[in-house]
Amino acid sequence: MKASTVISGRFDTKNSQSIETYRKDGGYETWSTVLDEKRDPDSLIDEVKASGLRGRGGAGFSTGMKWSFVPKQTDKPKYLCVNGDESEPGTFKDRQILEFDPHQLLEGVALTCYAVQAHTAYIYLRCEFKLGIATVKAAIKEAYEAGMFGKDIHGSGFDLDVSVTIGAGAYICGEETSLLNSIEGVRPYPRNKPPFPAVEGLFGCPTVINNVETIANIPHIIKNGAEWHTKLGCPEDPGSRLWGISGHVAKPRWVELETGYKLQDLIDGPCGGIRKGHTLKAIIPGGSSSKVLLPDQVARVTMDTPGIRAEGSSLGSAAIIVLDDSVCMVDAVLNLMKFYAHESCGQCTPCREGTPWVVQVLQRIHSGKGRTVDMDLLLDIAHNMEGRTVCALADGACWPLTSIVKKFRHEFEAKIVAAPSATSSKVASA
């Protein structure tokens, strides 16, 4: 397990959010060099591609690859949208960047825009990030004043405008096409894909959408080169990530670590182990939309894309939710499913109707009116939702649900056996 300070190096510095602090560390030098040397934009895309950087938002798609989908020849303007709608339950990593070191994000924004030849960038932040919004706005002002943004930057002929757009607090707006609709000012239903945003995104124009942490990595990769990045952590999924650990550990926290470490080491080391007097029951490793891991899986899993896939789960937004033996898994999954039912945008039938139904069934089980058929019913409802909708919200609801029902079936059965109505296969007919 290798601690790292690529992203978080300045977080503890006084006035870490100011441009002076950032420039003292060589901040914006990469951006200035790229402009002064009139670097070929494609060379930046190639650099990021070669770095092996995967998106930090949840899906883990290759960032360089995503950029390369933006058409080179087009009459339309191109846009960059930075996704700072951080709302995946358990996730609090982007918030650190926004509040403590916004300028590395802004330099990343500049470099990304240059790479894909976009001249307008929107930084989309959830409204609850009051401090983050104020900090980023102040940083943008500083960057303009320092001549890093604006017209004809450094006499290069390259124009760039950056602004903050504030979301109204819906989880769905973190879905990239929903985010685009939110910026456009229409109801933020996710869009059908294809067309993908790289081809037809914001206002129908080619658009790159990247997570805050992804963009914050860009200045480091351009400065230090792709090869440097490939040597961080796991070779198949290199890099340094901010991990947020919440739940029943002695020390809930964020920590920056290179990929490829053992989850057990993180829990036992920086997090101080499971809280006193309790034992580990399960870990949801990548934000609430990932499949739950059992203690034996936690003991062997390495935290990188191939490692976590081998255990059937995903890194997601690197939000590690630790559950100890005090947790009732029926209760836990009910809590999660309430979130998805509440945040379903309501566009697609399976998610709109399926997520509240799951909540109703779980509530019934939880209140002691469960039936033996309910576990299979839950799995089948999930089957009818997963992969059947426009976006991945329904999938994100199904993965924790199905994994918890399958791995903790005995806890559901215990609730049901204890219930007086358990022998009846039907409670009432609809």
Smaller CB separation from another protein, 185 or 277: 185
Smaller CB separation from another protein, 264 or 314: 314
Q: What is the C-alpha to C-alpha distance for residues 235 and 373, in angstroms, rounded to an integer?
A: 45
Q: What is the C-alpha to C-alpha distance for residues 139 and 226, in angstroms, rounded to an integer?
A: 27
Smaller CB separation from another protein, 95 or 371: 371
In the complex, minimum distance from the CB of residue 377 to another protein, in angstroms, rounded to a whole number? 6
In the complex, minimum distance from the CB of residue 353 to another protein, in angstroms, rounded to a whole number? 4
Phi/psi at 141 (nearest 5 deg)?
-60, -45
Smaller CB separation from another protein, 78 or 371: 371
In the complex, minimum distance from the CB of residue 228 to another protein, in angstroms, rounded to a whole number? 37
Q: CB 272: neighbour CB atoms within 10 A?
A: 14
In the complex, minimum distance from the CB of residue 277 to another protein, in angstroms, rounded to a whole number? 38
Smaller CB separation from another protein, 105 or 361: 361
In the complex, minimum distance from the CB of residue 97 to another protein, in angstroms, rounded to a whole number? 28
In the complex, minimum distance from the CB of residue 375 to another protein, in angstroms, rounded to a whole number? 13
Smaller CB separation from another protein, 325 or 380: 380
Smaller CB separation from another protein, 219 or 370: 370
Helices (H) and strands (E) in the chain, counts: 18, 10
Strand order through the sheet with 280-284: 253-258, 240-247, 319-324, 280-284
Residues binding another protein (CB under 8 A): 170, 172, 187, 189, 192, 341-357, 360-361, 364, 371, 377, 383-385, 387-390, 426-430
Question: What Å distances lie between residue 414 and 178, 196, 261, CA to CA?
Answer: 40, 46, 36
In the complex, minimum distance from the CB of residue 312 to another protein, in angstroms, rounded to a whole number? 15
In the complex, minimum distance from the CB of residue 383 to another protein, in angstroms, rounded to a whole number? 8
Angle (deg, nearest 10), helices 102-116 and 41-51: 120
Smaller CB separation from another protein, 213 or 343: 343
Is 79 in contact with 205 (CB distance < 8 Å)?
Answer: yes
Helix H segments across 172-239? 176-184, 212-224, 226-230
Q: CB 247: neighbour CB atoms within 10 A?
A: 19
What is the CB-side half-sphere exposure of residue 282 using CA atoms within 13 A? Answer: 21
In terms of Cβ atoms closer than 10 Å to its own Cβ (0-12, 13-18, 19+), residue 161 is middle
- Residue indicated by tokens 């825009």: 113
